[in-house]
């Protein structure tokens, strides 16, 4: 396993991705109890999710030989679009392997950005194996979805922006898939403000980080199931797990009903389009899994790549 990503590496990533990734806004949410709650709106990010931060940080550091051969990744959707966008910005070809169950809005987004799309299985393990085979066959460079220092450093720039825009914040809630986002955010936040509480939130149907923390090492789940399609890898990364164990105060789980309710609430009350994965952090607050706090809380909205039909289908 690589050494933990440093706060200096995150600062370097911030300089590297400037002008490609947006500094997304913090929006105060209406009507929450306790202290103010702010949404960190990565749904307004280039490509519709935070993933462009890590993808571009990785691709910007490739040598000329890798640029000539092109890149490949495996993803449930948002990382695929981010790699396609980052590759286009640097002028290289991108191939992505997505699950057969990938939402059409994410598949269409990757293709629109110029990616060559393959489909394989329904789990992260299946699409990783297919991507590795294609990389070997075609001489492509793999862009990992979460478990790489450059990816973690890029995602950590979300934490830097939170500290800049909400210096009085006392708590940050972050959705957890493979762990790249929570690893980066927690490192950035805790390195500067160790007093701030960082909480990871994952679906009850895919508690890979919770189970791994309980076991003391990364574990692979036999099966996963959640409407939060971006949060259902069967296993966290080795590097991301190490960061979570070092910097994250707590990892909690929320059920699909709470996630759907939070996504509906964003649309109806906050007028924000948020995908189910991005709504998980707010779901932890609204469902009571995480209690109210006196000080300001930031909930990271990790993405907004969702069709209107899907949002309508979440209606109670």
Annotated catalytic sites, by residue?
Answer: 51, 302
Give the whole-angstrom CA distance, residue 118 versus residue 258: 32
- In the three-class reduction of DSSP (H, G, I as helix; E, B as strand; rest coil), residue 145 is classed as coil
Residue among 204, 223, 178 nearest 79 (CA): 178
Start-to-end C-alpha separation, the chain: 45
Helices and strands, number each (H, E), in the chain: 13, 10
DSSP code for 175 = E
Is the CB of residue 79 less than 8 Å from the CB of residue 73? Answer: yes
Per-position DSSP letters for 188-242, written without gaps between them: HHHHH-TTSEEEEEEETT--HHHHHHHHTS----S----S-GGG--SS--HHHHH
CA distance 80 to 100: 14
Cα dist. 89→55, 150, 312 in Å? 11, 17, 34
Q: Report the C-alpha gap between 254 and 219 in whole angstroms.
A: 19
Using CB atoms within 10 A of its CB, is residue 198 exposed (0-12), middle (13-18) or buried (19+)? Answer: buried
d(CA 132, CA 145): 13
DSSP per-residue letters across 16-68: HHBTTB--PPEEEPTT-SSS-EEEEEGGGSGGGBTHHHHHHHHHHT--HHHHH
Helix axes 256-265, 276-286, angle to 10 degrees: 100
């Amino acid at each position: 396993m690589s050494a933990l990503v440093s706060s200096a590496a995150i600062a370097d990533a911030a300089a590297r991705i400037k002008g490609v990734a947006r500094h997304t806004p913090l929006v105060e949410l209406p009507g929450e109890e306790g202290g103010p709650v702010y949404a960190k709106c990565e749904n307004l990010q280039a490509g519709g999710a935070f993933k462009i931060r890590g993808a571009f940080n990785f691709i910007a550091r490739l040598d000329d030989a890798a640029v000539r051969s092109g890149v490949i990744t495996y993803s449930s959707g948002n990382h695929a679009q981010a790699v396609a966008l980052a590759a286009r910005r640097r002028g290289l070809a991108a191939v992505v392997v997505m699950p057969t169950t990938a939402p059409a809005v994410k598949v269409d987004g990757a293709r629109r950005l110029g990616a060559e799309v393959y489909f394989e299985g329904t789990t992260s393990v299946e699409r990783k194996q297919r991507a590795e085979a294609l990389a070997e066959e075609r001489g492509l460079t793999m862009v990992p979805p979460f478990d790489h220092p450059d990816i973690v450093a890029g995602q950590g720039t979300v934490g830097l922006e939170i500290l800049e825009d909400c210096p009085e914040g006392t708590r940050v809630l972050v959705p957890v898939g493979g762990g790249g986002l929570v690893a980066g955010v927690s490192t950035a936040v805790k390195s500067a403000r160790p007093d701030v509480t960082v909480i990871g939130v994952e679906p009850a149907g895919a508690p890979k980080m919770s189970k791994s923390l309980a076991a003391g090492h990364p574990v692979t789940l036999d099966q996963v199931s959640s409407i939060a399609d971006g949060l259902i890898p069967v296993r966290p990364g080795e590097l991301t797990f190490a960061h979570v164990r070092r910097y994250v105060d707590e990892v909690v789980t929320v059920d699909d009903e709470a996630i759907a309710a939070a996504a509906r609430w964003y649309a109806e009350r906050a007028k924000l389009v948020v995908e189910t994965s991005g709504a998980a952090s707010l779901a932890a607050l609204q469902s009571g899994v995480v209690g109210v706090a006196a000080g300001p809380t930031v909930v990271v909205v990790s993405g907004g790549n969702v069709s209107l039909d899907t949002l309508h289908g979440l209606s109670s």
